[in-house]
Amino acid sequence: MAKSRFDEKYYTTLRADLQKKLALKNIMEVPKISKIVLNVGVKEAVNDSRILQHVSKILASISGQAPVITKARKSIAGFKIREGMPIGVMVTLRRRVMYEFLDRLINVALPNVRDFRGVKTTFDSSGNYNLGIKEWSVFPEAQAVSFDKVHGMNITICTSAANGEQTQALLTGFNMPFALKTNKK
């Protein structure tokens, strides 16, 4: 099976560059992306569970994999949610499919975002990166499937990095368009 473009880039040039840049002694210490998780919460599913089937179909076309329907872990009376009620859709991408999705995200989807000025540079303590997209219509695959309601999506990029600095160096190597930090007074 052929490697994706980003997979090839990581193993041929980026990994060695990151080892030098981060001053790591062993090549196995170099951070890498382990998985990408796409998550769509659907609040309308409380009233009509058929909406989840449409959202699932669009997420499958975006990711290239069959998504899983997520269920509520706790009952929340204020939102009319009961424990075990289906409320969202998620898919986990790994290996070649993960790198192909990251390639499409960085080179196709993010430039399609209206008034795009870059993505935030905040990372969690484990070195993972979360990105929220307000409309899934920035992906060309989502436009092919007709659906009248547009939903947002959360994209979590899980890495083996020890901290945010390593994660930023890794994603910058893939040309992630981070926003320039400005000094606000």
Nearest CA to 12 among 97, 119, 99, 94?
99
Q: What's the confidence (pLDDT) of residue 81?
A: 64
Q: What's the confidence (pLDDT) of residue 80?
A: 64
Query: How many residues are recorded in the chain?
Result: 185
Q: What's the confidence (pLDDT) of residue 104?
A: 82
pLDDT at 93 over 80: yes
pLDDT at 123 over 80: no
Q: Across residues 90-110, what is the average pLDDT? A: 83
Q: 141-159, pLDDT tens digit by residue?
A: 666 555 667 777 888 888 8
Q: Across residues 164-183, what is the average pLDDT? A: 76
Say if residues 74 and 83 touch (Cβ distance below 8 Å): yes
CATH class of the domain at 5-173:
alpha beta
Q: What's the confidence (pLDDT) of residue 184?
A: 54
pLDDT at 55 over 80: no
Give 117: exposed, middle or buried? Use CB within 10 Å, 0-12, 13-18, 19+.
exposed
Q: What's the confidence (pLDDT) of residue 11?
A: 84
Q: Across residues 81-101, what is the average pLDDT? A: 80
Q: What is the 3-state secondary structure (H, E, C) of the chain?
A: CCCCHHHHHHHHHHHHHHHHHCCCCCHHHCCCEEEEEEEEECHHHHCCCCHHHHHHHHHHHHHCCCCEEEECCCCEHHHCECCCCEEEEEEEECHHHHHHHHHHHHHHHHHHCCCCCCECCCCCCCCCEEEEECCHHHCHHHHHCCCCCCCCEEEEEEECCCCHHHHHHHHHHCCCCECCCCCCC
Residue indicated by tokens 């606000």: 184
Q: What's the confidence (pLDDT) of residue 50?
A: 73
Residue 132: which pLDDT band, with cuts at 50, 70 and 90? Answer: confident
> In the chain, where are the structural domains located?
5-173
